Structure 1
Amino acid sequence: MKDLIEYIAKSLVEHPEEVQVRQNGNGSRVRIELNVSKDDMGRVIGKGGKVANSIRILLRVAAEREGKQATLDVMEP
């Protein structure tokens, strides 16, 4: 799941070298933290949060395939 989020984020941003993804949690619950450069926050969040919500949906589907629940937090730089 971490690799999926990292791939998506790096595809969206202008500074892919600054993308950092951390996966926390154990068992059936996973929390993914996404850090991008301040300049790229708008690209990852999108207008009205549409891009971030789309990424969350993809993450949720990937997590369900593994029998887990996952959340995505886009962290401020």
Structure 2
Amino acid sequence: MTAMQYLEFIISAIVVNTSAIEITEKQDELGTLLSLRVDPSDMGSLIGRGGKTIDAVRTVMRVYGSKAGIRLNLRIIEEPRTAEIIA
């Protein structure tokens, strides 16, 4: 299982709209950067109260990377919610 597959497995258990999960991988001199985008309505579930959920996900991914011998970093790409105007 690759790092992207493992991250998708974890995130799909947290969010409701699993079809909106987008993960990209980029290699650089600092290691591997995984960028994650989810549906804006799932952002609260992903981050969790006080950021505890996303901190736990980052920790698990760092451990995964350590076991695989790579340095993994996780970036969350936030899209602004579109507000509905009620007139």
Give the TM-score taking structure 1 as reference length: 0.92
Distance (Å, rounded) in 1 between the aligned partners of 2:57 and 2:74: 8
- Say if 2:38 is the partner of 1:36: yes
Cα-Cα RMSD: 1.3
In structure 1, runs of 5+ residues without a counterpart are: none
4+ runs deviating over 4 angstroms = none
Matched residue type, 2:76: V
Higher share of residues assigned helix:
1
Task: Show the counterpart of 1:46.
Answer: 48
- Of 21, 24, 47, which residue of structure 1 is paired with 2:23? 21
- Of 61, 64, 75, which residue of structure 1 is paired with 2:63? 61
The alignment covers a number of residue pairs equal to: 77
Higher relative contact order (CA 8 A, sep 6+): 1
Q: What secondary structure sits across from 1:76 in the alignment?
A: coil
Give the TM-score taking structure 2 as reference length: 0.82
In structure 2, runs of 5+ residues without a counterpart are: 80-87
Distance (Å, rounded) in 2 between the aligned partners of 1:33 and 1:48: 21
